[in-house]
């Protein structure tokens, strides 16, 4: 009877009482060792092939001694490079003798149970802190808008008939509440100048109240005489 068995990473064809040199085993000298990875067993004309190993088959052996193999010289050279390296190597071996070959019924050694890794305690999830809702900043109180000047309720007069007042100034005065000749007659020149300050050009409203008073009274002839003496509303 013979068997093909894997020992220390190599496959060997072995028979009972055969001595074999294998790669160094961890078993001490004189101790017995069993190999369960039996790939094939031949007994006369009967051959049993494993897939890949034969279930229940086993090869028993005894470790005779541990030794080193013959020295092997390793020489490396690279042409035209000046590279030469010479090393020696002696393989660590174990000499064993085959004591038994069992085709079936052998009990495999139970692999040592792996210690269960201690469960890591999951860190307790910190309860989310309830953040106090930030009070929304109070909207800044917008400054009170300046009250728009009240427009005159009466029928507006044609202020452009006053010397020195054009369409833009007439529109500005009307928006400021001075829409009639009577309103313009009551206004002071300084106040009028302040109202029309944003109107483009140079304007002197000193005679505008006087002209407006004549227009309000219906004295058109006197108004015309006065305007003949003016240049752009300013006395010549």
Last residue within a domain, chosen from 56, 80, 102: 102
Tens-digit pLDDT profile for residues 99-137:
999 988 766 665 555 665 666 666 666 665 655 554 555
Entry pTM: 0.44
Residues 6 and 98 in one domain: yes
**Closest to 196 (Cα-Cα) out of 186, 205, 188:** 205
Q: Determine, yes or no, domain membership for 138.
A: no
Pick from 53, 84, 102: which residue ends a domain?
102
Residue with tokens 């052998």: 106
Q: In this structure, is residue 153 part of a structural domain?
A: no
Q: Which two tokens stand for residue 222?
A: 């006197």
Number of domains in the chain: 2
Q: Are 185 and 98 members of one domain? A: no
Domain that holds residue 225: 159-235
Percent of the chain's residues with pLDDT above 90: 41
Nearest CA-CA partner of 208 in 172, 148, 155, 154: 172
pLDDT per residue, tens digit, the chain (236 aa), is 999 999 999 999 999 999 999 999 999 999 999 999 999 999 989 999 998 899 999 999 999 999 999 999 999 999 988 899 999 999 999 999 999 999 887 666 655 556 656 666 666 666 656 555 545 555 455 555 554 544 444 578 888 888 888 888 888 888 888 989 899 888 888 888 888 888 877 777 888 888 889 989 988 898 888 888 877 667 76
125 part of a folded domain:
no
């Amino acid at each position: 009877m013979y068997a093909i068995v894997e020992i220390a990473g190599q496959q060997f064809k072995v028979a009972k009482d055969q001595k074999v040199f294998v790669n160094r085993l961890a078993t001490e000298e004189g101790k017995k060792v069993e190999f369960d990875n039996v790939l094939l067993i031949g007994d006369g004309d009967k051959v049993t092939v494993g897939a890949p190993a034969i279930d229940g088959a086993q090869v028993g052996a005894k470790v005779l001694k541990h030794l080193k193999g013959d020295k092997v010289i390793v020489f490396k050279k690279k042409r035209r490079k000046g590279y030469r390296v010479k090393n020696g190597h002696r393989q660590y071996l174990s000499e064993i003798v085959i004591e038994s070959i069992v085709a079936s019924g052998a009990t495999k050694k139970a692999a040592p149970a792996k210690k269960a890794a201690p469960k890591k305690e999951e860190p307790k999830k910190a309860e989310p802190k309830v953040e106090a809702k930030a009070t929304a900043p109070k909207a800044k109180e917008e400054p009170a808008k300046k009250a728009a000047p009240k427009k005159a309720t009466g029928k507006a007069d044609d202020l452009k008939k006053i010397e020195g007042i054009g369409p833009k100034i007439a529109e500005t005065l009307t928006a400021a509440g001075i829409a009639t000749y009577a309103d313009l007659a009551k206004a002071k020149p300084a106040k009028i100048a302040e109202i029309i300050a944003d109107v483009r050009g140079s304007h002197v409203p000193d005679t505008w109240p006087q002209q407006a008073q004549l227009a309000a009274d219906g004295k058109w002839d006197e108004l015309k005489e006065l305007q003949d003496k003016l240049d752009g509303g300013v006395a010549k």
